[in-house]
Amino acid sequence: MPSPRSTASTLALGLAAALALSACGGGEEAATSESGVPLVQAGTLVTCTHLPYEPFQFQEGGEIVGFDVDVVDAIAEDLGVEQEIVDTPFETIQSGEDLNAGKCDLAAAGMTINDVREENLDFSDPYFEATQALIAPAGSGYTSLDDLAGLSLGIQAGTTGAEYAQENATEAELVTFEDLGLLLTAVQSGQVDAAINDNSVLYDFAADNDDVEVTAEFETGEAYGIGVKTDNTELLEAVNASLARIQEDGTYDEIYEEWFGTTPTS
């Protein structure tokens, strides 16, 4: 597992109600960044995510850290504000409900860009490539979805992995978990025979737990995007400008290497 990095990002669990009120604030002056980009809270870029999704975002030492956290920290720095993070159900992230309610400015949750989600929110330019993978107890021999016929396969609610399993693991018993932590614990405890999720998070977990292993990948050709409220053009343009900046000046490679132990291949 790559070495975690301390971050100035603030744990802001339970902040949702206060932020929503701030966003609605009748008669109050609208909050903006130093460059005039509208924000839900003055001086802050509020990010919705769903914990844990290590190494993209997870709690460590009382702080939320991870790859996505560092990427959004760079965006916040360009806007001249600090990032705050709200932990919220993934379903209300991908449905656009959190963004529409003013709970947060953007969503960074290891979230694959797809047609269904693009009906609910706008995505930034792609910033991370992913594919689906299978994790199973070490030595199990489960190297394909066909091997799981008649057995149990763990999926995470609302994810593209769950969709892939529903379409391609029709002979397995699908067992749904609310978050990645519960899903992976179920594999270790034998509650399920195997589980499917994005390859990066599964490899990261297997690197620290020799009782499980990633046994297969499925080339789904996915890419992560940062979500913003539909038609929030100013913020979307600012996010894309920051992503382009960190990719050009090497910041993105530094963040990537810190959390994945290597530089990106493309």
Provide the whole-model pTM.
0.85
How many angstroms separate the Cα of 79 from the Cα of each of 30, 45, 74, 76, 198? 16, 8, 9, 5, 30
User: Would you give the distance in Å from CA 249 to the centre of its chain?
Assistant: 24
User: Would you give the distance in Å from CA 99 to the centre of its chain?
Assistant: 15
- Residue 211, both tokens: 């009782």
Strand partners, 64: 59
pLDDT of residue 266: 65
Asked if 25 and 34 count as a contact pair (C-beta separation under 8 A), the reply is no
CA dihedral over 138, 144, 146, 151, signed as positive or negative: positive
How many residues are recorded in the chain? 266
Torsion of CA 93, 98, 104, 108, to 10 degrees: 0
- For 72, the enclosing helix (H) or strand (E) is helix 67-79
Taking the chain (266 residues) in consecutive chunks of 10 residues, what is each chunk's mean pLDDT?
39 41 47 87 96 96 97 97 96 96 97 96 97 98 97 96 97 97 98 98 97 97 97 97 98 96 84
Classify 174 as helix, strand or coil. strand
